[in-house]
Structure 1
Amino acid sequence: MWSTKIRNIWDALYPVALYVVVSDCVYMLLTLAIGENTISPMALQILTALLSSPSIVYPYFSDRRGQPQEMREKKLFRLLLVCAAAVCLSVSLNNLILMTDLKEQSETYQKVNASFFSSTVWVELFGTSVVTPILEEMLYRGIVYNRLKRSGRMGMAIVISGLVFGLIHFNLVQFLYAGLIGIFLAVVYETEGTLLVPVLAHAAANAVAVARVETGFLQGFTEENQFFVPISLCLLAISIIITAYLTKGRLFEKQLKYN
C-alpha cells in the first residue's frame, strides 16, 4: 500500500523536478550563448520557458492519450466568474502580504520581482499572461494534480498540488501567494472539467498584477488609503463567495465518483 502511495507521489512530482533541471540548463546555455545583459531578464525567462516546454508538453499529452476527457459545457458566465474570483483573490492576497514586512525581508522575492518587471509592458504581458499560465497549468494542474488524484483523495491532491506550486517559487512570499492561488486553480480545474479555465484565470490574475505595477492601475489603492484593509478583505470575501457558488456540490459529487 505504501509503495503504491510513494509511487503515485513520485509520478506526480518528478515532472516538476525534470522541468526545473531542464529549465536551469537551458537558462545557463542561453546566458552563455547570448549574454545575460543582452536582453531583459523577462525576455530571457520567456525564451527559457519556450525551449523547456517539451518537458511539460510531452508528459501532459501522454497522460491524456487514450483517456476519456470530461468536458463540461463551456459557459461564458462561469468563465467570467472564475476570472473575477482569480483577480479578486490575487489583489487581496498581494494587499494582505503588503501589510506585513515579508517582502522586505525576502531578498529572493525582491530579485524575482525585479526580474518579473524588467522589460516592456507587452513583453511582460506575453510572458506572464500567455507563456507562463499555459505551461504552469499544464504542469501543476494537468500533470501534478491529475496524477495525485489517482490515489482517490481529491482534496489531498488539490492541497498538495497547490503547495508544490507555492514551494517551487523558492521564497516565503510567493509560497503563501502561489500556494493559495494554486489551490484555487486546482478547484476550478476540477469543477469546470477543462484546463482552459485555470489557464485563463491564471492569465487574468497575472495581467492585473502587471497592469497595476506598470500602468499605475489602482495607484491610489495603497496602505495609506483608509479603505485599504476593508476593501482587501471584501475582495477576498468576494473571491470565496464566487468560488463557493461555482463549486457547490460539485467537488463532493466528484469525490464520490473517485471513491
Structure 2
Amino acid sequence: MKINYIKELNSSKINLSPLNFWQAIGITILFDIITLFLNKPTDIFYIILNSLGVVTYSGFWMWISTALSAAYEFGAILILIIFLNNRNNKVNNINTGFKLRKRDWVLVPLLIVSYILLTYGWFDYILYFFPTGNTYEYVIEYLNSIPIVILLVETCIMAPFFEELLYRGIILNGLINRYSRKKAIIYSALIFGIAHLNFPQGINAFLLGLIIGTVYYYTRSIYLCMIMHFANNFLVNFVYYPTSRLWTNILFVLLPILGLVLMIYLFKTLNLKERSKEAINYIINNDFK
C-alpha cells in the first residue's frame, strides 16, 4: 500500500514500533550512518573535482552540496520510517483527533520567543563556565565560513524539517509507545541534546526539546514542531546584548521575568491538556455510537 509518509507521520497514522531509551539512541546513530553512506558518492565526486582543479568551496558547488545533503537526509528518514513502521501490531497512539486552531500556529512560535526571553543573558553566562569542546568550536567555525543564505537554508529550513521528523516524529513517537508522557518527553529531549555533541548546544537543545516535545505529545503535529524549531533557529540570530552595563543588568532581570510570564500565559491559552482530553473523549464517544 502506498503511504504518504510525511503526511501520515504528522497525523500519527503510521504505527511506529515502541522504542526504549537505548534503541532511540541507536536510531539517531543509524540515521547518521545511513546519511554518511548515502553521502559517499558525492564525497568521492568532490574529491575528483578538487583533483581536477575545480574550486568546490564556492557558491554554486556549495548549493549543490546543500541540495544533495537534503536529499540524502530525506532518504535516510524514509528508510527509518519504513524500517520502524509497525504494520502488524496496533500501537496505542493517543490523541490523534486533536483539533488545531488557526491561532495555534501563532502561539507556538511565541512559546519559543518566551523561551529566548526567559534564558536571555544568565543562561549564556552560566554556560561560559563549562568547557565547549572541539565540536562546538568546529560548529562555530563552519557557521562563520559559509554564505549567509546557505546558512539560513541549513539552519532555518533543513534543520527544523529533518530534525523534527527524526526526533519528534520518529523517536518521540516510538518512546511514547513504550513510556509514560513525562519519561518519553524527557528521554527524547535528552537524546536531542546529546545529538548536538557539545555542552552549550546540548543543554539548549534539551530545554527546547522539552517544550517542543510537550507540544508534539498533545497535538501530534510535526508541522507545529517544525515552525517552533524554525522560530528558534531564526530568532537567535537577532539576540542582542547591549554594551552598557546598566542596560545589561536591567535586561538580564527584566526579560527573563517577561519570558516566564509570557510562557505561562501561552501554555494556559493553548490549553493543550484539556483540549487533548476533549479530543480523546470525542473519539471514544463516536466509537461507541
**TM, length-normalised to structure 2:** 0.70
The one of 138, 157, 168 equivalent to 1:130 is 157
The one of 6, 23, 30 equivalent to 2:35 is 23
Structure-2 residue corresponding to 1:215: none
Instruction: Judge conservation of contact 2:115–2:263 (CA < 8 Å) in 1.
Output: yes
Separation in 2, partners of 1:236, 1:149: 29
Matched, 1:55 2:76: yes
Moved over 6 A (4+): 64-69
Give 1:87-106 correspondences, 5 Å limit. 87-90=113-116, 92-93=118-119, 95-100=121-126, 102=128, 105-106=131-132
SS state of the match for residue 198, structure 1? Answer: helix
Structure-1 residue corresponding to 2:198: 171
Return the offset for 1:98. 2.1
Separation in 1, partners of 2:130, 2:22: 35
Return the offset for 1:151. 1.8
Give 1:36-55 correspondences, 5 Å limit. 38-39=56-57, 47-55=68-76
Structure-1 residue corresponding to 2:109: 83
Separation in 2, partners of 1:11, 1:48: 25
Structure-2 residue corresponding to 1:184: 211
Rate the CA distance shift 1:116–1:244 in 2: closer, same or farther, 3 A.
farther
Indicate the structure whose relative CO is greater, using CA pairs within 8 Å and at least 6 residues apart. Answer: 2
Give 1:1-259 correspondences, 5 Å limit. 8-26=20-38, 30-34=42-46, 38-39=56-57, 47-60=68-81, 63=85, 70-90=96-116, 92-93=118-119, 95-100=121-126, 102=128, 105-107=131-133, 108-210=135-237, 212=238, 218-221=239-242, 224=245, 225-237=248-260, 238-247=262-271, 249-250=273-274, 253=277
Instruction: Judge conservation of contact 1:163–1:179 (CA < 8 Å) in 2.
Output: yes
Rate the CA distance shift 1:130–1:48 in 2: closer, same or farther, 3 A.
same
Unaligned runs of at least 5 residues, structure 2: 1-17, 282-289
Percent identity for Structure 1 against Structure 2: 21
Aligned length: 245
Structure-2 residue corresponding to 1:3: none
SS state of the match for residue 23, structure 1? Answer: helix
Separation in 1, partners of 2:67, 2:243: 30
Q: Which whole-Å deviations, capped at 9, do the CAs of 1:25-70 have from their partners, x for residues lacking one?
A: 4556544432598337986566434313212133336648798882
Instruction: Judge conservation of contact 2:118–2:255 (CA < 8 Å) in 1.
Output: yes
Rate the CA distance shift 1:203–1:150 in 2: closer, same or farther, 3 A.
same
Separation in 2, partners of 1:120, 1:229: 32
Separation in 1, partners of 2:180, 2:71: 33
Separation in 2, partners of 1:51, 1:102: 35
Unaligned runs of at least 5 residues, structure 1: 1-5, 213-217
Return the offset for 1:171. 0.7
Q: Which whole-Å deviations, capped at 9, do the CAs of 1:157-195 have from their partners, x for residues lacking one?
A: 000000000000011111110001011111011222311
**TM, length-normalised to structure 1:** 0.77
Separation in 2, partners of 1:15, 1:251: 31
Across the aligned residues of Structure 1 and Structure 2, the Cα RMSD in angstroms comes to 3.6
